[in-house]
Chains A and B, each alone.
Chain A
Amino acid sequence: MQWASWSAFFNMGGYAFYVWFSFGLTALCVVWEVLALRKRSQQALRLSQLLAQN
């Protein structure tokens, strides 16, 4: 294991902001993309549902 303690892990040798921001942003993009797609497919289904009823 590389890290003496959890706080050392979170500190990232003083580069915490850069490292965690990079990984955080990536995670955020991934989550956002998946959620946005889920919403988009629901909207598409709702639209065709409306079309089916008319």
Chain B
Amino acid sequence: MNINWFKYSSPQTFYPLAGKMIPWFTWLAVVLAMAGLYVSFAIAPTDFQQGEAYRIIFVHVPAAWMSMVIYIAMAGWAAVGLALNARLSAMMAQALAPTGAIFTLLALVTGSLWGKPMWGAWWVWDARLTSELILLFLYLGFMALQSSIDDPRRADRAGALLALVGVVNVPIIYFSVKWWNTLHQGSTINMGVAPKMAATMLLGMLLMALAFWVYTVAVALMRVRCIILERECSTDWVKELSTGGQA
């Protein structure tokens, strides 16, 4: 009758399952990253306008993609967690947030590293960089809210709601920033990828994006395992696990 008790016990079954999946995703990420790096550095041709500096896009663009994908995935897990009152989904949302924030930060830093040689300025208020900056604020807000609420159940649900509010707002924010950008800067700066991109360049970017994606899965699983351990530290199965591992 009490289905809820099953849900409460599910972290226990998920913990070893995640442990088994992590090595697979890790190695897949390594292989994809190797292939991606090989294509980006050895095969992709030099860009005739930007020289070799354009190779930054092989991390910048995938990182920017991931930052958005992770936010959407986070909101998705949050919605599932809220709707079904499933603890594991909320934990997944929580586990994704720091990785998303790191990718957002990487997109920002690599964007400005790309901007400096191209436009001679470390920071330009271009629509994509500005949106990434706001996305970083959204991630930070989510993490700050979760960490300042002591009761994990309330933290899960409040964070989930915030993620949903954020995901509704992201398109509006993006649109408004674009609007603002075209008004104030005209079309002088466009950080979009060059229109005539060689197929190998696209391949490199896709491979790197896939590598990041798989890496995200692996890291999120690792973090969700940590969260499970921390939350369930007083349960018997975790105690058994921790002492059994020692002996």
* A interface residue numbers (CB < 8 A to B): 1-3, 9, 12-15, 18-19, 21-23, 25-26, 29-30, 33-34, 37-38, 40-41, 44-49, 51-53
Contacts and interface: CB of A to CB of B under 8 A. Distances in A.
B71 interface: no
Most B C-beta atoms less than 10 A away, residue of A1, A3, A41: A41
A7 to B, nearest CB: 13
Contacts of A51: 233-234, 239
B42 A1 contact: yes
A18 to B, nearest CB: 5
Contacts of B109: 22, 25
B145 to A, nearest CB: 20
Contacts, number: 101
A45 B242 contact: yes
A22 B52 contact: no
Contacts of A15: 51-53, 117
17 contacts: A1-B42, A2-B45, A12-B53, A15-B53, A15-B117, A18-B117, A19-B56, A21-B113, A25-B109, A25-B110, A29-B102, A37-B223, A40-B226, A44-B226, A47-B233, A48-B234, A51-B239
A25 B60 CA distance: 11
B136 to A, nearest CB: 14
Report whether over half of chain A's contact residues are helix, strand or loop; otherwise say mixed.
helix
Contacts of B242: 45-46, 48-49, 52
Interface residues of B, number: 44
A12 B40 CA distance: 12
B215 interface: yes
Given A22-B60, A22-B113, A25-B106, A14 B222 contact: no
A45 B241 CA distance: 8
Interface-central residue, B46, B98, B230, B245, by most chain A CB under 10 Å: B230
Contacts of A38: 222
B226 A18 contact: no
Contacts of B102: 29, 33
A34 B239 CA distance: 24
Top 6 closest pairs, chain A to chain B, by CB: A13-B52, A52-B239, A44-B229, A15-B53, A48-B233, A49-B242
B63 A26 contact: yes
A45 B239 CA distance: 8
Nearest to B222: A37
A8 to B, nearest CB: 10
